[in-house]
Amino acid sequence: MPQHAGGSLSDALFSADSVRRIDQYVIEQLGVDGFDLMQSAAHAAFHRLALRWPGVEPLLVLCGAGNNGGDGYLIAANALRDGMAVHCVAVAPTGKLSGDARKAWQKAVADGVEVRELADIGDAELGALFERSGLVVDAMLGTGASGAPREPISGIIARTNASGLPVLAVDVPSGLNATTGAAKGEVVQAAMTVTFIARKLGLYTGQGPSVCGGVVFEPLGTDTNAGETPVARLQNWGSVQNWLPGRRANAHKGQFGHVLIVAGDRGFGGAGILAAEAAARSGAGLVSLATRPEHVTAALARCPSVMVHGVIHGSELPSLLAAATVVVCGPGMGQSAWGQQMLQQVVESGKPRVLDADALNLLSKRVAVPANNQILTPHPGEAARLLNCLVPEIEADRLAATHRLQSIYGGVVLLKGAGTVIASGEGAADVAIGSNPGMATGGMGDVLSGVIGALYAQTPELPAQAAAMGAVVHLEAATRASVKKGYMGLIPTDVIDVLPQVFREAEPGAGCDKGDE
């Protein structure tokens, strides 16, 4: 994808295996001592802890058996040197420690940290430790863990979450798969995660956004990918603003595409209206809506700038399709004969298209015919139907599911959800950073499809970029709207209302002459 040219290490996302190889390269090829690197990680994590929670103590540091546990022991030593009260619990027996993790434990003890073995602590005493503490440092399971945590760690995770204490997770919350973002069992609910060396994909998609809290990246001065290829790149509003096409002072509507929305069977007229208005608010030169005749009056009342057509039969669609630059098909379209006819005409037209909602449900029942000019925008349920599997299989590895969909259907696939994943089959995927629980309501996907359709119409040669920018803009608008409306009361029109404000910040200058002064 063009937007990846010159991408920096700071926005690159790697698998856990790649990060371990980068770590190994730094130690073996760059000559950085492993224990020194561990001390740097502990110092960086403690610094972030002190900034976020000044004066909060005692710390309850929970240490596992690997290098993640080693980080924890050294964080405890840092805290003690800073004059803080520290409770340090060896969740994994210290007798099993080896390598740098053992050195870290020995240094912490030498520095005065009292390390208690979990096996020697009764349940009541453990509960008292949680009650007396002000913050938990989770250094139990690192990036090497992939399955469900076993006892006693699973029980400690559950107790940690039940305590209500803020949690700093070291590198990755225990129980979270650092590559996929899946959690097969108990997982720590962190308020902040400090991650090292390179960013791990799992922190930004799947369960990651809901359990990591704020993610802080500390490269520890390494600044190398050691030849490892990122599996994805983070995209946020700051990174995509310069993707918006410019507009000259003498621009006209014909230069910014004509989006046709095909949507809204009986009882679902609002879906098409939302998509059409979102497209109009996202810079499309022209927007048309093909919908059931009974929805025409409502659509014109809401969006007088949209050309609305009442369509009874698929045979009425070709003339509208001929005039379109991009077609958005599916919102509220239903799966009856009317919806089937609409999709059939859209597919046969060969027009660049965004397929969403019921278009995807209908597509799952057809023989897959790849098309390079289409953008599919499934949520996990629709993705599962397209792949003939179950939703948990999609959520177990969202990146893999997205790539699999793309390999079958071609074009660009955007898998919705926290940490939306966008893949085109070329280069690393994109991940739209962030999540917003207020978007968990009907109609938000219709808005997204309209936004993407408008951006695709303006940059028809860059469908992957249009999809990624659409996801980021949609999330940014929702986040701003929720500041005023909250999460529970957020509705799709709130997001549409904020779209012009978001886009205004990215306008590269219209080139308009301000006149003589």
Count of the separate structural domains present in the chain: 2
Q: What is the pTM of this model?
A: 0.94
To the question of whether residue 208 is assigned a binding role by annotation, the answer is no
pLDDT at 507: 83
pLDDT at 515: 44
Whether residues 405 and 325 share a domain: the answer is yes
To the question of whether residue 144 is assigned a binding role by annotation, the answer is yes
Q: Flag whether 174 is in a domain.
A: yes
Q: In degrees to the nearest 10, what's the CA dihedral of 38, 39, 41, 45? A: 140
To the question of whether residue 282 is assigned a binding role by annotation, the answer is no
Q: Flag whether 39 is in a domain.
A: yes
Whether residues 221 and 242 share a domain: the answer is no
Q: Report the chain's C-alpha Rg in angstroms.
A: 26
pLDDT at 3: 39
To the question of whether residue 416 is assigned a binding role by annotation, the answer is yes
Task: Find the helix packing angle between 34-52 and 16-28, rounded to 10°.
Answer: 120
To the question of whether residue 69 is assigned a binding role by annotation, the answer is yes
Helix (H, G, I), strand (E, B) or coil at 63: strand
To the question of whether residue 221 is assigned a binding role by annotation, the answer is no
Whether residues 460 and 352 share a domain: the answer is yes
To the question of whether residue 372 is assigned a binding role by annotation, the answer is no
To the question of whether residue 410 is assigned a binding role by annotation, the answer is no
Reported as a single tens digit per residue, the pLDDT across 395-436 is 999 999 999 999 999 999 999 999 999 999 999 999 999 889
Whether residues 130 and 177 share a domain: the answer is yes
To the question of whether residue 107 is assigned a binding role by annotation, the answer is no
To the question of whether residue 10 is assigned a binding role by annotation, the answer is no
To the question of whether residue 138 is assigned a binding role by annotation, the answer is yes
Q: Which of 196, 230, 264 is the last residue of a domain?
A: 230
Q: From the CB of residue 390, how many other CB atoms can be counted at a distance below 10 Å? A: 12
Whether residues 283 and 420 share a domain: the answer is yes
Q: Flag whether 474 is in a domain.
A: yes
Q: Count CA atoms within 13 Å of residue 29 on its CB side.
A: 11
Task: List per-residue pLDDT tens for the chain, 517 residues long.
Answer: 433 433 467 899 999 999 999 999 999 999 999 999 999 999 999 999 999 999 999 999 999 999 999 999 999 999 999 999 999 999 999 999 999 999 999 999 999 999 999 999 999 999 999 999 999 999 999 998 889 999 999 999 999 999 999 999 999 999 999 999 999 999 999 999 999 999 999 999 999 999 999 999 999 988 889 999 999 999 999 999 999 888 899 999 999 999 999 999 999 999 999 999 999 999 999 999 999 999 999 999 999 999 999 999 999 999 999 999 999 999 999 999 999 999 999 999 999 999 999 999 999 999 999 999 999 999 999 999 999 999 999 999 999 999 999 999 999 999 999 999 999 999 999 999 988 999 999 999 999 999 999 999 999 999 999 999 999 999 999 999 999 999 999 999 999 999 999 999 988 654 444 444 4
pLDDT at 145: 87
To the question of whether residue 379 is assigned a binding role by annotation, the answer is yes
Reported as a single tens digit per residue, the pLDDT across 121-142 is 999 999 999 999 999 999 999 9
To the question of whether residue 272 is assigned a binding role by annotation, the answer is no
Whether residues 108 and 210 share a domain: the answer is yes
pLDDT at 10: 83
Phi-psi region of 370 (alpha: psi -120 to 50; beta: other; left: phi over 0): beta
Q: Flag whether 251 is in a domain.
A: no
Side chain identity at residue 491, one-letter code: I
Query: Residue 82 is part of which domain span?
Result: 2-230
Q: Flag whether 404 is in a domain.
A: yes
Whether residues 380 and 454 share a domain: the answer is yes
Phi-psi region of 512 (alpha: psi -120 to 50; beta: other; left: phi over 0): beta
Whether residues 436 and 387 share a domain: the answer is yes
To the question of whether residue 68 is assigned a binding role by annotation, the answer is yes
- Total length of the chain: 517
Q: Flag whether 201 is in a domain.
A: yes
pLDDT at 150: 95
To the question of whether residue 418 is assigned a binding role by annotation, the answer is yes
Rounded to 5 degrees, what are φ and ψ at 252?
Answer: -135, 165
Whether residues 225 and 282 share a domain: the answer is no
CATH number at residue 409: 3.40.1190.20
CATH number at residue 27: 3.40.50.10260
To the question of whether residue 315 is assigned a binding role by annotation, the answer is no
To the question of whether residue 430 is assigned a binding role by annotation, the answer is no
To the question of whether residue 356 is assigned a binding role by annotation, the answer is no
To the question of whether residue 71 is assigned a binding role by annotation, the answer is yes
Paired with 327 in beta bridges are 260, 353
To the question of whether residue 122 is assigned a binding role by annotation, the answer is no
Query: CA nearest 50: which of 202, 216, 203?
Result: 216
CA distance linking residue 398 with residue 417, whole number of Å: 9
Q: Count CA atoms within 13 Å of residue 147 on its CB side.
A: 2
pLDDT at 223: 84
Whether residues 284 and 218 share a domain: the answer is no
To the question of whether residue 420 is assigned a binding role by annotation, the answer is yes
Helix (H, G, I), strand (E, B) or coil at 115: strand
Whether residues 405 and 381 share a domain: the answer is yes
Q: Flag whether 516 is in a domain.
A: no
DSSP class per residue in 142-184: -TT--SPPPTTHHHHHHHHHHH---EEEESS-TT--TTT---S
pLDDT at 8: 63
**Residue 74 contacts residue 108 (beta carbons within 8 Å):** yes
Residue located via tokens 């610094």: 47
Whether residues 316 and 390 share a domain: the answer is yes
Q: Flag whether 514 is in a domain.
A: no
**Residue 9 contacts residue 224 (beta carbons within 8 Å):** yes
pLDDT at 5: 35
CA distance linking residue 297 with residue 306, whole number of Å: 12
To the question of whether residue 147 is assigned a binding role by annotation, the answer is yes
To the question of whether residue 417 is assigned a binding role by annotation, the answer is yes
